[in-house]
A and B are shown apart, each in its own frame.
Chain A
Amino acid sequence: MQILSAGTKYDSCNQSAVCHAFGPDGRCIQLYKTLLSNSCAGECAYCPNRCERETKRASLEPAEIAKITWSFYRRNAIEGLFLSSGIMGDAEYTSQKQLEVVELLRGQGFKGYINIRVMPGTPKYLLEQIADHADKFGVNAETTNSINYSEICPNFDYKNDVLQRLKWTRDLIEKKRSEYCGMGKMVGANDTQFVVGAVPESDKEVVKTVHKFMDKYALRRPYFMSFDPVPDTPLENGSPSPKWREQRLYQMSFLLKDYGLRSSDLDEIYDEYGYLSNADPKEVLARSQPDRFPVDINSAEISDLLLVPGIGPISANRIVRGRPIVSEQELSRVGVVVSRARPYISINGSRQTNLSSFMGACS
Chain B
Amino acid sequence: MLIIIAFRSSVEGVLLACLAFREDPGSELIFASDVGELKGKLDLSGIEGEINMVGFDPSYRSESLSKEIFGKSKPRMARFDPDPLRYVDLLLRHKGCDPAGLVRLLVSCNGDTDGLYSGKSKIAKRYYNYMREVGKAYERLCMFARPELKGGILSVVIDTPHDIADMFCRWLVRKNPDVPVAVIKNGSAWVGNGDLIGLDRFAKITSSFVESLRSTSKSDDVDELWDLYYNSQMIDSRRNHGLAKKMQPKSSASMSKMSKRDRYKVERGIAGCTLDSFA
Contacts and interface: CB of A to CB of B under 8 A. Distances in A.
Nearest to A5: B232
Interface string B252-279: 0000001100100110011000000000
A76 B172 contact: yes
Interface stretch (B95-103, B104-112, B188-196, B238-246): B238-246
A326 B247 CA distance: 35
Nearest to B117: A333
Interface string B152-165: 00101000000000
Interface string A39-58: 00000000000000000000
Nearest to A6: B232
A238 to B, nearest CB: 15
A75 B179 CA distance: 13
Contacts of A23: 230, 233-235, 244, 265-266
A74 B176 contact: yes
Contacts of B76: 318, 321-322
Nearest to B176: A74
B229 interface: yes
Contacts of A111: 175-177
B79 interface: yes
A1 B228 contact: yes
Interface in A45-93: 68, 71-77
B220 A74 contact: yes
A72 B222 contact: yes
Contacts of A322: 76-77
A21 B238 contact: no
B144 A20 contact: yes
Contacts of A27: 233, 235, 238
A18 interface: yes
B222 A75 contact: yes
A228 B238 CA distance: 12
Nearest to B242: A26
Contacts of A333: 77, 79, 118
Contacts of B172: 76
B131 to A, nearest CB: 16
Nearest to B156: A76
Contacts of B133: none
Contacts of B135: none
Interface string B110-147: 00000000100000000000000000000100111111
A5 B175 contact: no
B87 to A, nearest CB: 16
Interface stretch (A28-36, A118-126, A142-150, A283-291): A28-36
A243 interface: yes
Interface residues of A, number: 40
Interface in B173-223: 175-179, 220, 222
Given A74-B154, A112-B175, A9 B79 contact: no
A63 B86 CA distance: 42
A77 B247 contact: no
A71 B262 CA distance: 17
B237 interface: yes
Contacts of A9: 232-235
B147 A76 contact: yes
A274 interface: no
Interface string A296-323: 0000000000000000000000100110
Contact of A24 (B79, B148, B226, B239): B239
A290 B211 CA distance: 69
A25 B175 contact: no
B71 to A, nearest CB: 15
B18 to A, nearest CB: 25
B232 to A, nearest CB: 4
Given A22-B262, A25-B244, A333-B77, A5 B178 contact: no
B229 A72 contact: yes
A273 interface: no
A19 interface: yes
Given A9-B235, A29-B230, A72-B226, A19 B177 contact: no
Contacts of A74: 147, 149, 154, 176, 179, 220, 222
Nearest to A73: B175
A228 B239 contact: no
A178 interface: no
B62 interface: no
21 contacts: A1-B228, A3-B232, A18-B139, A21-B248, A23-B234, A24-B241, A24-B265, A24-B266, A25-B234, A25-B240, A27-B235, A27-B238, A28-B247, A29-B230, A68-B229, A76-B172, A76-B175, A109-B177, A321-B76, A322-B76, A333-B77
Shortest Cβ-Cβ A-B pairs, 9 listed: A26-B243, A22-B247, A5-B232, A25-B238, A22-B248, A6-B232, A26-B244, A26-B240, A71-B222
Interface of A: 1-3, 5-6, 9-10, 18-29, 32-33, 68, 71-77, 109, 111-112, 228, 243, 318, 321-322, 333-335
